Amino acid sequence: MSTLAVVAIGGNSLIRDKAHESVEDQYQAVCETAKHIVGMIEQGYEVIITHGNGPQVGFILRRSEIATDVAAMHQVPLVSCGADTQGAIGYQIQQAMDNEFKKRGLDKSAVTIVTQVIVSADDPAFQKPAKPIGSFYSKEQTDLIQKANPSWAMVEDAGRGYRRVVASPRPQEIVEKDVINLLARAGYCVISVGGGGIPVMRREDNSLQGVDAVIDKDFASSLLASDIKADLLIISTGVPTVYLNYGKPNEKALDNVSLAELKQYMSENHFAPGSMLPKVQAVISFLENGGKEAIITNPESLEEAIAGKTGTHVYA
Ligand SMILES: Nc1ncnc2c1ncn2[C@@H]1O[C@H](COP(=O)(O)OP(=O)(O)O)[C@@H](O)[C@H]1O
Ligand SMILES: NC(=O)OP(=O)(O)O
């Protein structure tokens, strides 16, 4: 029986740097990532791909705000910006995967599922925006932006600059989880839970209603992996491994760690909120809910990581 892996691709990992933020540049990064995921599939893995949207959802929101200012166009609600990213990024991943399958003569196909994720109206995250989205700004730019947009909440993001933050409630239930599981078990490469899923709330009559927020895709990917009893959760991001003392002279890469060790390092504040911390929390949650192994690495290291040669491996 093949191993079922949920591979969560970071939104930032699809944008190499400030000079490569265009849709075409992102497609190149998607194609590069797709090659490595197909490499995993060639080694016998079934893969469900999830993806982030932090930079992309912020770009769409900003474009909409500017269009509202200069052309009196209606603003796109944040929930719709998130839904847009599922289509745009899902399309790129689906096409890149299918092209790569054809190139290698594999009889496989990819399919993207628009995914809604239920959140709670009482989630305290609605009162405390914490999810970084969009571009990175210098301190000087941030001071000017805050003057022009006093309602924006902004934070410093893991030593990379300042970013706008929005509410990020915890995912409670993935509405389309059964169909995702069904298609994955039938051999399709399913792309789902894009941008952490489109945040929705359940009304009293059981109908669904969208809500303005951005769910953390690592938490949503972990929930999906637990729900469908995936064998492996892989978080593919901008670094080959997780580090202790990240960015300091005594930085140390983590290769194999136990769940208990990871929790200890987390309590010692080794992982930055808004970037590495949610990934570590997502891994802990997966392993505490029946998962056996999780890996954090970057796209180019995926094949080496599943062979145990790199990446941070965490075991229950
Ligand atoms: N302890 C740590 N070890 C490794 N990377 C860290 C650590 N703390 C913060 N980071 C930063 O977190 C980034 C991953 O978070 P982020 O870019 O937000 O994720 P995503 O790829 O999901 O968009 C890394 O590229 C790195 O810059
Ligand atoms: N939605 C989300 O978590 O996106 P990133 O992974 O890009 O931050």
CATH 3.30.420.40 fits 3-120+174-308, yes or no: no
pTM (two decimals): 0.96
Per 3-state DSSP, the chain is made up of helix, strand and coil in percentages (nearest 5) of: 45, 20, 35
User: Which residue in 82, 131, 181, 195 is the catalytic one?
Assistant: 131
According to the model, what pLDDT value does residue 178 have?
Answer: 98
Residue 46's φ and ψ, nearest 5 degrees, are -95, 135
CA of 29 to the centre of ligand 2 (A): 16
Sequence ranges of the domains in the chain: 3-120+174-308
Q: Residue 254: CB within 6 Å of ligand 1?
A: no
Q: Whose CA is nearest to atom 6 of ligand 2?
A: 52
Query: What atom of ligand 1 comes closest to residue 160's alpha carbon?
Result: 27
Q: What mean pLDDT comes out for the span 86-90?
A: 98
Would you say the CB of residue 54 lies under 6 angstroms from ligand 1?
A: yes
Return the pLDDT at 18. Answer: 83
pLDDT given at position 274: 78
Is pLDDT above 90 for 275?
Answer: no
The distance in angstroms from the start CA to the end CA of the chain is 21
**pLDDT tens string 96-124:** 999 999 999 999 999 999 999 999 999 99
Residue nearest to atom 8 of ligand 2 (CA): 54
3-state secondary structure of 162: strand
C-alpha to C-alpha distance for 196 and 52, rounded to whole angstroms: 6
Rounded to the nearest 5°, which phi and psi values hold at 257? -135, 155
pLDDT value of residue 160: 87
Give me ligand 1 centre to Cα 179, in Å. 31
Cα–ligand 1 centroid distance for 127 (angstroms): 24
pLDDT tens-digit map of 20-75: 889 999 999 999 999 999 999 999 999 999 999 999 999 999 999 999 999 989 99
ipTM: 0.98
Please indicate whether residue 217 is annotated as part of the active site: yes
Q: What is the pLDDT at residue 216?
A: 96
Task: Give the model's pLDDT for residue 120.
Answer: 98
| Residue from 181, 194, 217, 298 carrying the catalytic annotation | 217
What tokens appear for 53 in the block?
């949207």
Task: Judge whether 279 counts as a catalytic residue.
Answer: yes
Question: Where residue 164 falls among pLDDT bands split at 50, 70, 90?
Answer: very high
Distance 12 CA to ligand 2 centre (A): 8
The confidence band for 19, taking pLDDT boundaries of 50, 70 and 90, is: confident
Q: Are strands 232-236 and 3-9 parallel, antiparallel or unpaired?
A: parallel
Ligand at shortest distance from the CA of 236: 1
If pLDDT is split at 50, 70 and 90, which confidence band does 1 have? low
Average pLDDT value over all residues in the chain: 96
pLDDT in tens, 174-196: 999 999 999 999 999 999 999 99
Q: What is the pLDDT of residues 120-144, one digit of tens each?
A: 999 999 999 999 999 999 999 999 9
Averaged over 88-97, what is the pLDDT? 98
Q: Which of 35, 108, 177, 279 is catalytic?
A: 279
What is the model's pLDDT at position 228? 98
How remote is the CA of residue 276 from the centroid of ligand 1, in Å?
A: 5
For residue range 192-213, list pLDDT tens digits in order: 999 999 999 999 999 999 999 9
Residue from 30, 131, 155, 236 whose mutation best tests the ligand 2 pocket (most atoms within 8 A of CB): 131
What are 223-226's contacts with CB under 8 Å, separation 24+? 223/117, 223/171, 223/173, 223/174, 223/285, 224/6, 224/48, 224/50, 224/174, 224/177, 224/180, 224/192, 224/193, 225/6, 225/286, 225/291, 226/285, 226/286, 226/289, 226/290, 226/291
Q: Is the CB of 58 under 6 A from ligand 1?
A: no
What is the structure's pLDDT at 21? 86
